[in-house]
A and B are shown apart, each in its own frame.
Chain A
Amino acid sequence: MEAVLDVATSTSTTASMLDQYAELLGEHVVDHLRQLGRLLAGKKVVHVNSTREGGGVAEILYKLIPLMRELDIDATWEVITGDPEFYQCTKTFHNGLQGWNVMPSHKMLAAYEAANERFAQQYADVLSSADFVFIHDPQPAPAITHLPHRQGKWVWRCHIDASRPHRPIWKYLRRFVQHYDASIFSLPEFAQPLPHPQYIIPPSIDPFSEKNMDIPEDEVDAVYDRFGLNRHLPLVTQVSRFDAFKDPVGVIQAYQIAKKIIPLQLVLAGGGASDDPEGEVMLQQVRNAAGDDPDIHVLLLPSDAHRTINALQRASDIVIQKSTKEGFGLTVTEALWKRKPVIGGDVGGIRLQVVDHYTGFLVRTPEGCALRMRYLLHNRERLSEMGARAQRYVKENFLLTRQLREYLALMVGVLRGTQDLIEVG
């Protein structure tokens, strides 16, 4: 509960968040938030996910909740936890929703349902009395079925690339999701047939967070010595959890192909999320693939190494996100914000951010990835142009104020029972 208190009581540091945004994006952006916020002032909003550290959902909530509170919305954040079988089960859901032919065992499903029942009982008062409950991803999805006397509106927020889910997994989860008042997906292709409105709201980053804020040049420069990088070689980086869908081994293959033509070095930087039990296995596969190449740097960073990741991304010439499935890919947004062209897998949310040939390149193979690395490293002017365009694109579309405005508008729309026009001013 400490982190909840951190978030809830951090108004002194967050009082200026809206002002900072007004300075960066214009007064009107914040004024629109305030106009919507007035309609929701005093409402109790509870967000629920399964980890407070590591992963994009936690990062967004850590910033979104103080912003909501600054608008006088009573926003809080709760976390569902479970035993190892619960996490095995939810990781299997994650893999299955992203298309793998997998299904949790009966024992895992029992652990999953039991954890949700326990969570619902433990937080029954908070959840039942809330005006809005945002349930993030499958982990806490069944909690709704244990709270028949809930008073508010419940929204299921799916952050996963569910464009081609393994059908038995979706069939099982749909039993719970169908009870919600609305759902949110990051892209239209992820939406599934459901008996309620389905909103499309892409995630976002906070440009003032430790991970994205401007930092001094010498702090960026320091990563070379700290991680034993070569100052004379171009730096190509992928920042991601060590997860098969992020294809870190494919990135190593791409690097190996490109290196035959152009000298370069590769950083694969990742941390674990506390709800991901498969990270260790993948990390070992990555280390095996890297072998003894001194120009491949596999960095296992703690989940709070935001400033280090910031510096690594800024030190990089190119950022890679060669995922084979991707709900959105906040690391892509982070890199684009830092004026780095991104070579990304031609999948999911990456396709919304990497506009082929404009903000980076979309690729399907290690060969394609290597080709684009070579192209950008040979064409520095083009690399700079793309980087500048990338930052503008993020500024206009993928900052936290846009996501918050859409959440607020959704809440007003759901309260009023409309999906058409909302006039707030």
Chain B
Amino acid sequence: MDSAGNSELKLRGCSQIALVTGNSATSLRELRDQLKVVPTSSIYQHFWGRLLLPHFAEPEYNNDFASWAFHSLQDKTLAERLSAVNPLDFDSPESLRQELIELVEARLEEREVLSWRQADHPFFFQFAQMVVFDANLRIDDPAKLSDALKHVPEGTIYYHFIDARRRNADHSDDFSNWLRDQGPKWREKADAVSKLDPYFSTLNGIRHRLIATLEH
């Protein structure tokens, strides 16, 4: 199988190139206005896609909106609130968009000064073109999955554990889907993998948690 549904798991890898949408914001008010009109692929990019682009793993803020609120607006309150938004809690990109807009609007109501304060650096909305590669690796035995995950590139983790949730109708990841198809013996592991929250982590961090879960 490509990702889920048959006995063999064909691993793939991926990378991204960023493109600009042409939208930008120089204040919190502008950010709110742009959030209303940018494509949802851009919001996705600033939550998840950033993991595959040149970036420095920042311990504090794990999406670009929160990071911008802290570094360019110096608004720690908003940064904390935006950082607590877990995109997996939303069943559609539109509902995630709405949550962001509401958080920003609430903050604008709380602190009037933020309506006109200019950010140190504008926020530039981006989206990404994804390239999917063959990882040249097939797993035919669930017991071999954890070993394989120790060596695959980060793009493979991203493709099967993060981006899969966008591709699969039930928002599930490929690893737990595949494990579930390998018989009753693997159901428990499949459930444990599916419960791992990939947010608040780097791709390497996700790798280690997947391996630990499979080997536990």
B1-43 CB contact bits vs A (8 Å, 1 = yes)? Answer: 0000000000011010111101000000000000000000100
**Do the beta carbons of B20 and A188 come within 8 Å of each other?**
yes
**When the two chains form the complex, which single residue of A188, A198, A358 contacts B56, counting CB atoms closer than 8 Å?**
A358
Interface string of A276-311 (1 = CB under 8 A from B): 000000000000000000000000000000000000
Q: Report chain A residues within 8 Å CB of B136.
A: 31, 425
Please tell me if the beta carbons of A420 and B129 are within 8 angstroms of each other in the complex. yes
Whether A268 is near chain B, meaning CB under 8 Å from some CB there, is: no
> Which 7 residue pairs across A and B have the least CB separation, nearest first?
A425-B134, A188-B124, A397-B54, A200-B18, A355-B56, A191-B20, A425-B133
Q: List, in ascending order, chain B residues with CB within 8 A of A397's CB.
A: 54-55
Q: Is A405 positioned at the interface, with any CB of B under 8 Å from its CB? A: yes
Sample 7 A-B pairs with CB under 8 A, ordered by A number: A32-B13, A198-B20, A409-B17, A419-B129, A420-B129, A421-B129, A421-B130
The CA-CA distance from A185 to B124 in the complex, in Å, is: 13
Assuming the contacts A188-B124, A198-B19, A199-B19, asked whether A32 and B133 have C-beta atoms less than 8 A apart, the reply is yes
Is A197's CB within 8 Å of the partner chain B? yes
Is B176 an interface position by the 8 A CB rule?
no
Q: Which of B144-191 contact A (CB under 8 A)?
A: 152-153
The answer to whether B20 and A422 touch across the interface, beta carbons within 8 angstroms, is no
Q: From residue A355, how far is it (CB to closest CB) to chain B in Å?
A: 4
B117 on interface, CB distance cutoff 8 Å: no
Q: Is B113 in the interface zone, CB < 8 Å from A?
A: no
Asked if residues A419 and B19 are in contact (CB atoms below 8 Å), the reply is yes
Q: Does B63 contact A (CB under 8 A)?
A: no
Q: Does B76 contact A (CB under 8 A)?
A: no
Q: Which of A366-425 contact B (CB under 8 A)?
A: 393, 396-398, 402, 405-406, 409-410, 412-413, 418-425
B122 interface residue, CB < 8 Å from A? yes
Q: Which residues from chain B contact A200 at a C-beta distance below 8 Å?
A: 17-20, 126
> Is A193 touching B54 in the complex (CB atoms < 8 A)?
no
Known: A200-B20, A419-B19. A35 touches B133 (CB 8 A): yes
Q: How far is the CA of A381 from the CA of B131 in the complex (A)?
A: 41
Structural contact, B17 and A199, CB atoms closer than 8 A: yes
Q: How far is the CB of B155 from chain A (nearest CB, A)?
A: 8
Given contacts A397-B54, A425-B12, contact A189 B122 (CB under 8 A): yes
Determine whether the beta carbon of B135 is less than 8 Å from that of A409.
no
Tell me the chain A residues, 159-208 only, with Cβ under 8 Å from chain B: 185, 188-189, 191, 193, 197-202
B153 adjacent to A406 (CB under 8 Å): no
Measured between beta carbons, the chain B residues less than 8 angstroms from A398 are: 54
Is the pair A189, B133 in contact by a Cβ cutoff of 8 Å?
no
Give B130's nearest chain A residue, CB to CB.
A421
Residues of B within 8 A of A (CB): 12-13, 15, 17-20, 22, 41, 54-56, 121-122, 124, 126-127, 129-136, 152-153
CB-based nearest B residue for A425: B134
Q: Which of B12, B15, B121, B124 touches A409 (beta carbons < 8 Å)?
A: B15
Q: Distance (Å) between the CB of A82 and the closest chain B CB?
A: 31
How far apart are the CA atoms of A418 and B122 in the complex, in Å? Answer: 27
* Most-contacted residue by chain B among A32, A396, A420 (CB, 10 A): A32
Closest residue of B by beta carbon distance from A31: B136
The SS class assigned to the B binding surface is strand
Complex CA gap A402/B136 in Å reads 20
Closest Cβ of chain B to A44, distance in Å, is: 22
Complex alpha-carbon distance, A422 and B41, angstroms: 15
A28 to B20, CA, bound (A): 28
Nearest chain B CB to A189 CB, angstrom units: 6
Cα A425 to Cα B138 with chains together (Å): 13
Contact status A191-B124, CB under 8 Å: yes
User: Complex formed: what's the CA distance from A198 to B128 in Å?
Assistant: 11
Closest to B163 in A: A421
From residue 25 to 56 of chain A, which have CB atoms closer than 8 A to chain B? 26, 28-29, 31-32, 35-36
Q: Which of B56, B131, B133 has the most CB of A within 10 A?
A: B131
A198: chain B residues within 8 A (beta carbon): 19-20, 22
In the complex, what's the smallest C-beta–C-beta distance from B190 to chain A, in angstroms? 26
CB neighbours (8 Å) of B131 from chain A are: 32, 36, 405, 409, 412, 422-424
User: Is A352 in contact with chain B by the CB < 8 A criterion?
Assistant: yes
**What's the Cα separation between A387 and B132 when bound, in Å?**
33
> For the complex, is A90 an interface residue (Cβ under 8 Å from B)?
no
Does A359 interact with chain B (Cβ within 8 Å)? Answer: yes
Closest to A424 in B: B133
Q: Could you say which residues of chain A place their CB within 8 Å of the CB of B122?
A: 189
Q: Nearest-CB distance from B133 to chain A (Å)?
A: 5
* Given known A-B contacts A188-B124, A188-B126, A397-B54, A422 and B132 have beta carbons under 8 A apart: yes
Residues from chain A with Cβ under 8 Å of B20 in the complex = 185, 188, 191, 198, 200
- B residues near A199, Cβ cutoff 8 Å: 17-19, 129
In the complex, the answer to whether A188 meets B18 with C-beta atoms within 8 Å is yes
B130 touches which of A191, A405, A422 (Cβ 8 Å): A422
Which of A200, A202, A352, A418 is most buried by chain B, counting CB atoms within 10 A of its CB? A200
Cα distance A419–B133 when bound, in Å?
Answer: 16
Pick the contact of B132: A28, A31, A421 (CB < 8 A).
A421
Contacts of A422 in B (CB 8 A): 129-132
Given the known A-B contacts A35-B134, A189-B121, A424-B132, are A410 and B17 also in contact in the complex, defined by CB atoms under 8 Å?
yes
For the complex, what is the distance from the CA of A406 to the CA of B132, rounded to whole Å? 13
A202 and B54 in contact (CB under 8 A), knowing A28-B153, A188-B126, A425-B134? yes
Min CB distance, B158 to chain A, in Å?
13
In the complex, chain A residues whose CB is within 8 Å of the CB of B15: 32, 405-406, 409
**Cross-chain contact A193 with B22 (CB below 8 angstroms):** yes
CA A193 – CA B132 in complex, angstroms?
A: 29
Residues on the B chain within 8 Å of A35, using CB: 133-134
A409–B132 CA distance with the chains assembled, in angstroms: 10
Least CB distance from B184 to A in Å reads 33
